[in-house]
Amino acid sequence: MSKVYNFSAGPAMLPVEVMKKCQEEFLNYNGLGVSIIEMSHRSKDYMEVANQAVADLRDLLKLPDNYKVLFMHGGGRGMFANIAMNLAQPNGCADYLVGGAWAGYAAAEGKKYTNVNEIKIDSVNDKNLVTINTKNLPLNKDAQYVHVCLNETIHGIEIFDDINTNNVPLIADASSNILSRPLDVTKYGIVYAGAQKNIGPSGFAIAIVREDLIGHALPFCPSVYDFKVTYEHDSMFNTPNTFAWYLSGLVFKWIKDFGGLEAMEARNKEKADYLYGFIDSCDFYSNNVDKSCRSRMNVPFFLKNSDLNQEFLDKAKEAGLCNLKGHRVLGGMRASIYNAMPIEGVKALVEFMDKFAKEHK
């Protein structure tokens, strides 16, 4: 197989070591003669896999005992509904900080269950760059929760600042930057993520929930989405996605072997700095996000001459650089460089971009 670097925004590339391990043991897990996806989730062998995955995730994020790890169904958007169904109160309200597409989608889902206050946090500064403000927000003191998206996958905006919500639980969608850097979860009531960007297969979601936020689901909340039911059954009220759980566990182990979240952050910073550094140095390309909130995971960029977009994509593909087309909301290009992308992939992309720019001067 020729070498390809996959810049897909999601489902995204996974570490090659993880994929190889999964392949090696797929038909015959641990000498049992059956696949990991063919065994009972309650069997001793599977329980070991399941418990180890939770323990490794807890360890990576240094979770205190009062934060519970729940594995949920329905991916990121499933969690948009789950958050509201588990935290909203009849006639209550919630604040949604909106600074990009995903935060807006979360707010729209929240509206089905509660009164949503949308608070705009993005704006364009005098240099025509997108900036984010998370200070002195007009928060509602009666809100049941405040929702924020920590990394806007489409717009390439990441929030690095702490947000003060005056003790109203802050709920973070970290679907596209979870485990990319250390995160102090104690600043949040819940941190959740769809798995398919930095963790594992799609359709699966991880919710790290502070204990006191468990047990408030609205009466109509389906049992499989109720945090309390999920917690009381160790995320096995119904049959979980055993394969996704297993594969996520391999990824957690990979991150630990890599040196944990500090080491991962250093690698991600190096990749992002390299790519943005090149984009800023070359007038052929541009990125329109202020340095203070540029995403380390998703790098949207534009060619000065958008007539060259298709040729850029075709030539990139020939060079083994795949899935660089930007989201239809923004156009242009987007390179997603999650944990699994090696620095070599980013260097290959920059080398290609440089060559393409010189050929089209």
Ligand X SMILES: *Cc1c(COP(=O)(O)O)cnc(C)c1O
Positions marked active-site: 102, 173, 197
Nearer residue to ligand X within complex by CB, 60 or 205: 205
Residue in 83, 85, 87, 149 binding ligand X, rule: CB under 6 A: 149
Number of shown-chain residues binding ligand X (CB under 6 A): 14
The 3-class SS string of 293-311 reads HECCCEEEEEECCHHHHHH
CA distances from 314 to 95, 335, 352, 360 (A): 43, 15, 12, 15
- Binding mask 1-30 toward ligand X (x if CB under 6 A, else -) reads ---------x--------------------
Using the contact rule CB under 6 A, the part of the chain among 54-62, 136-144, 169-177, 299-307 near ligand X is: 169-177
Residue in 15, 57, 68, 75 binding ligand X, rule: CB under 6 A: 75
Smallest separation, CB 198 to ligand X (Å):
10
The reply on whether position 200 binds ligand X by CB under 6 A is: no
Smallest separation, CB 32 to ligand X (Å):
31
Residue in 194, 200, 240, 249 binding ligand X, rule: CB under 6 A: 194
- Nearest Cα residue to 233 out of 38, 70, 82, 85: 70
Smallest separation, CB 334 to ligand X (Å):
12
Residues 95, 111: contact at Cβ < 8 Å?
no
- Nearest Cα residue to 13 out of 241, 280, 321: 321
Nearer residue to ligand X within complex by CB, 197 or 210: 197
Nearer residue to ligand X within complex by CB, 194 or 240: 194
Residue in 102, 225, 276, 302 binding ligand X, rule: CB under 6 A: 102
The reply on whether position 202 binds ligand X by CB under 6 A is: yes
Residue in 56, 95, 109, 173 binding ligand X, rule: CB under 6 A: 173
The reply on whether position 76 binds ligand X by CB under 6 A is: yes
The DSSP bridge pattern shows strands 190-194 and 170-173 to be parallel
The reply on whether position 132 binds ligand X by CB under 6 A is: no
Nearer residue to ligand X within complex by CB, 60 or 149: 149
The reply on whether position 300 binds ligand X by CB under 6 A is: no
Using the contact rule CB under 6 A, the part of the chain among 18-26, 129-137, 146-154, 272-280 near ligand X is: 146-154
Q: Distance between CA atoms of 315 and 300, rounded to whole angstroms?
A: 18
Alpha carbon dihedral 246, 252, 254, 260, in 10-degree steps, equals -170
Residues that bind ligand X (CB under 6 A): 10, 75-77, 102, 149, 151, 153, 173, 175-176, 194, 197, 202
